[in-house]
Amino acid sequence: MRVGVLASGTGSNLQALIDAGARGQLGPARLVVVGVNVPDCGALSRARGAGLATFVVEHRGQPSRDAFDQTLIAALQAHGVQLVVLAGFMRILTPAFLNAFPGRVINVHPSLLPAFPGVHGQAQAYRHGVKVTGCTVHFVEDGVDSGPIIAQIPVSVLDDDDEESLRLRILAEEHRLLPAVVRQIAEGRVTVAGRRVRIAPG
Ligand code: GAR
């Protein structure tokens, strides 16, 4: 399964996918291209460092959201992408994008959705005072961090946590969760029935 990754930031989740692939832990999934919308982001350097094909589409340079998404679609399709992984990609995709990859777009988010969607999910949880938060990988549908939930890992909020220590512990779990889900999808073990996602044993 040909996987394209979209990212905007540091790219540590992308790195987790690259490392899992190098260790043979992605099953039949293969990273084929990485697209970013921030020209100097860490994700782009990590992708180049791993010898992956890359493309940059700056949303500011595009006349509309539709034009931005059409450019992304064309770039991903040019690489025969079958599964799109949003790994810290901080733009909301249009229905046209989702229709181009139906049921084939997943996102990693740093909270236990549906709690704390949007930006800074970790800080939102910390400031709310929850005792347990975590991370989620879900299918993307039209909406912010909505869509059927594939897998989650809980993370306890410790008494001596600050926002940064909590963010880092959640991030470490994201790095375990995202490659595992990519593998499960590539192995054909993930099925969706309405809102419920089932993962067949490996
Ligand atoms: C990750 O924590 C990811 O869950 C979050 O951005 C960070 C990217 O880190 N995504 C969202 O908040 C999406 N709503 P990375 O660039 O080091 O992978």
pLDDT at residue 163 greater than cutoff 90:
yes
CB atoms within 10 A of CB 122: 24
CA 149 to ligand 1 centroid distance, Å:
16
Tell me: the pLDDT tens digits for 28-84? 999 999 999 999 999 999 999 999 999 999 988 889 999 999 999 999 999 999 999
**Which pLDDT score, from 0 to 100, does residue 123 have?**
98
Look at residue 10 and give its three-state secondary structure: coil
Question: In degrees, to the nearest 5, what angle opens at C-alpha 164 toward C-alphas 163 and 167?
Answer: 85
Which of the residues are catalytic?
A: 109
pLDDT at residue 107 greater than cutoff 90:
yes
Instruction: Show the domain range for 185.
Output: 2-199
Q: Give the torsion through C-alpha atoms of 41, 44, 71, 145, to 10 deg.
A: -60
To test the pocket of ligand 1, the residue of 10, 13, 155, 178 to mutate (highest count of ligand atoms within 8 Å of its CB) is 13
Domain count along the chain: 1
Are 166 and 112 spatial neighbours (Cβ–Cβ below 8 Å)?
no
**Which pLDDT score, from 0 to 100, does residue 118 have?**
95
**Is the whole model's pTM more than 0.95, yes or no?**
yes
Give the residue-averaged pLDDT of 20-34.
98
For residue 75, what is the domain's CATH number? 3.40.50.170
To test the pocket of ligand 1, the residue of 44, 145, 174, 178 to mutate (highest count of ligand atoms within 8 Å of its CB) is 174
- Residue 160 has phi, psi (to 5 degrees) of -95, 15
CA 88 to ligand 1 centroid distance, Å:
4
pLDDT at residue 143 greater than cutoff 90:
no
Look at residue 111 and give its three-state secondary structure: coil
The residue to which tokens 């306890």 are assigned: 156
